[in-house]
Amino acid sequence: MSKKVFAVIGTGAIGGYYGARLHHGGRDVHFLFNSDYQHVVDSGLKVDSHYGDYSITAAELNAYNNAANMPKADVILVALKTTQNHLLETLIRPLLKPDTLVMLLQNGIGAEQEVAKAFDLSYVGGGLCFICSNKVAPGHIDHIDYGRITVGVYGEDGMEPLESFARDLTSSGVEVDIDPKIVDARWKKLLWNVPFNGLSTVLDSDTAQIMDCPELVHLSRDIMIEVQQAAQTTDTEIPTSLIDTMLGNTAKMKPYLTSMLLDRRNGRELELQYMYKNAIELAKKNGVSMPKTSTLYQQLCFLDRQDS
């Protein structure tokens, strides 16, 4: 059996970290870069990690700046922001084989189904990364904490390739959970992301400022309940106790700037479609309205248009 080929599409804080782990575990990993390409060709890829630093030298690194030049892959890790998903036709089409496992390491709801349809794939995997990791300079990733990944797959015949990929991760030192109902995990992550990413961005505030304001705690809870009800329309049961737990944990957290607020402050496009629009439309199709979530979404659309 020839060696499995891994492709990382989007070598940033997430793709760079997990790709480097797989490389460290002896896998054949090919990385697509954008603006960092020339830097890594000269200097390689560097990961500072609280699990031990790791570098891939320029000579060892399979770096590309054009997907058309990459080999066909057994596993494609898509670690782009969802705002870049319109580029997937160009970025993953050249890499697909009949049995390729595409893994979307992204936030939000609905992308796996879209990708399965667009590329006529019988299965598409999804991953939720619980990690603190930042790209601090070109080709330089700082992995601060955590790193566990929850993976699942849409399409029944995808379980075997998914389990094989999970073993690759485990043996490369990554903690993995397989969640056969990945959609449940996605909704649970949205439960936090929808209120806190949105409110922090609209009000330009961190999580501690939000939790210090009784009206916003109330609003966050109301929005979480809307997400809970939306999830229910896709047979995902979120217990109300999880809402209380998440609010309690958020109150205890150090002040945290959400990814969407950082995107806004850095003039980047906001991840509105998969984090808001898809959930609102899915719920609406199933007869559930999300008025407070929609209000936040409409305000975020305004901010996003302002910056574009």
**Closest approach of Cβ 306 to a second copy, in Å?**
8
Among 26, 180, 255, 291, binds a second copy (CB under 8 A): 291
Query: Catalytic: 135?
Result: no
Identify each DSSP E strand in 79-164 by its residue range.
101-104, 124-137, 140-154
What is the identity of the amino acid at 271?
E
Q: Which of 202, 242, 257, 282 binds a second copy (CB under 8 A)?
A: 202
The three-state secondary structure class of 29 is strand
List CB contacts of 106: < 8 A, sequence separation 6 or more: 78, 79, 80, 81, 82, 85, 126, 274
Query: Which one, 209 or 232, has the nearer CB to a second copy?
Result: 209
String marking each residue 205-244 x if it binds a second copy according to CB under 8 A = x---xx--x-xx-xx--x----------------------
Q: Which residue type sits at 182?
A: I
Question: Which residue type, as a one-letter code, is found at position 27?
Answer: R
* Window of 56-64, 84-92, 134-142, 297-305 that interacts with a second copy by CB under 8 A: 297-305
Report in angstroms how near the CB of residue 218 gets to a second copy at its nearest.
6
Q: Which of 86, 254, 285, 305 binds a second copy (CB under 8 A)?
A: 305
Output the smallest distance, CB 205 to a second copy, in A.
7
Residue 246 beta carbon to a second copy: minimum distance, rounded to whole angstroms? 18
DSSP secondary structure string for all residues of 148-186: EEEEEEESGGGHHHHHHHHHHHHHTT--EEE-S-HHHHH
DSSP character for 268? P
- The distance of closest approach from Cβ of residue 277 to a second copy in the complex, given in angstroms and rounded to an integer, is 10
Using CB under 8 A as the binding rule, whether residue 118 contacts a second copy is answered as no
Residue keyed to tokens 């505030």: 205
CA dihedral 36, 41, 42, 44 (to 10 degrees): 80
| The residue type at 274 | Y
**With 0-12 CB in 10 A as exposed, 13-18 as middle and 19+ as buried, what is 70?**
buried
- The dihedral built from the CA positions of residue 226, 231, 236 and 242, taken in this order, carries a sign that is negative
Please report whether residue 298 would count as binding a second copy according to CB under 8 A.
yes
Establish if 278 lies at the interface with a second copy (CB under 8 A).
no
Nearer to a second copy, 9 or 227 (CB): 227
Per DSSP bridges, beta strands 5-9 and 75-78 are: parallel
Catalytic option among 46, 81, 188, 189: 189
CA 161 to chain CA mean position, Å: 20
- Residues in contact with a second copy, counted by CB under 8 A, come to a total of 25
Binding of a second copy by 296 (CB under 8 A): yes
For residues 120 and 215, which CB has a smaller minimum distance to a second copy in the complex? 215
Which residue, 115 or 280, is less far from a second copy as judged by CB? Answer: 280
Is 257 near a second copy (CB under 8 A)? Answer: no
Cα(301)–Cα(308) distance, integer angstroms: 11
CB of 34 to a second copy, least distance (A): 29
Residues annotated as catalytic (active site), given as ranges? 189
Residues that bind a second copy (CB under 8 A): 199, 202-203, 205, 209-210, 213, 215-216, 218-219, 222, 291-292, 294-299, 301-303, 305-306
